[in-house]
């Protein structure tokens, strides 16, 4: 099988998977969540996102290179025009600083909005993971019942542990404790050289 035919076969499998009603329903639900997030955005959020997107583009870089090059050429007399902001280009520096302040503000506004969306997605992910864990635990119980009815007894300590419920709060506390320990280990000096510094 050639690489091209393998690629086409993989594309066909993906296309058939996308035709699945279950997958299509999931895709539609995710699209609705994304649409709702866009609808909830105010005009300031749309402006901030647009400016942040434009300022992160190569067009923005190209325009700035052309602008600064023209400014410097004009104000060094290379184009035969009277200089209005001679070296050290004080007015150019002032406008650049003002632009940086506003761009930073717009980028932060956009990042704050993205952080809210990311938090929402994380909560949805946690909820879905919790539901999946409960469903898997129930499936394990059903398989164990089937084994018992068929007379297939098996002692498996891992299986018994899997049937125990997962307590999210305790799990969160354990994660926090491990993070604190890791932070303390990172803060402790690794050698005598570190303690002398």
Domain coordinates of the chain in residue numbers? 9-40, 41-185
pLDDT recorded at residue 14: 59
The pTM is what? 0.58
Contacts of 74 (CB under 8 A, 6+ apart): 81, 83, 84
pLDDT recorded at residue 20: 76
pLDDT recorded at residue 95: 95
Over the range 154-165, which residues count as b (16 or more CB within 10 Å of their CB) and which as e?
Answer: eeeeeeeeeeee
Fill in the DSSP letter of residue 188: S
- CA–CA gap between residue 62 and residue 49 (Å, rounded): 20
pLDDT recorded at residue 197: 46
In which residue ranges of the chain is pLDDT below 50?
A: 197
pLDDT recorded at residue 5: 54
pLDDT tens by residue, 124-161: 888 888 888 888 888 888 888 888 888 887 777 777 77
Cα–Cα distances in angstroms (integers) from residue 140 to residues 87, 130, 150, 160, in the given order: 76, 15, 15, 9
pLDDT recorded at residue 153: 74
CA 52 to chain centre: 16
pLDDT tens by residue, 41-55: 888 888 888 999 999
Q: For residue 64, give the nearest of 90, 12, 99, 112 by alpha carbon.
A: 99
Contacts of 130 (CB under 8 A, 6+ apart): 166, 168
């Amino acid at each position: 099988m050639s690489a091209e035919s393998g690629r086409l076969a993989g594309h066909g499998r993906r296309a058939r998977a996308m035709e699945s009603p279950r997958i299509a329903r999931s895709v539609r639900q995710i699209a609705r969540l994304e649409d709702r997030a866009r609808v909830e955005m105010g005009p300031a959020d749309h402006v901030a996102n647009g400016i942040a997107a434009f300022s992160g583009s190569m067009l923005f870089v190209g325009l700035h290179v052309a602008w600064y090059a023209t400014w410097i050429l004009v104000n060094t007399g290379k184009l035969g025009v009277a200089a209005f902001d001679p070296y050290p280009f004080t007015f150019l520096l002032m406008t650049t600083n003002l632009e940086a302040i506003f761009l930073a503000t717009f980028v932060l506004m956009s990042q704050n909005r993205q952080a809210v969306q990311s938090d929402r997605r994380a909560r949805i992910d946690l909820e879905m993971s919790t539901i999946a864990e409960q469903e898997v635990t129930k499936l394990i119980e059903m398989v164990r019942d089937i084994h018992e009815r068929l007379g297939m007894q098996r002692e498996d300590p891992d299986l018994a542990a899997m049937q125990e419920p997962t307590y999210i709060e305790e799990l969160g506390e354990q994660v926090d404790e491990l993070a604190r320990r890791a932070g303390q280990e990172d803060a402790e000096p690794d050698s005598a050289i570190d303690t002398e510094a």
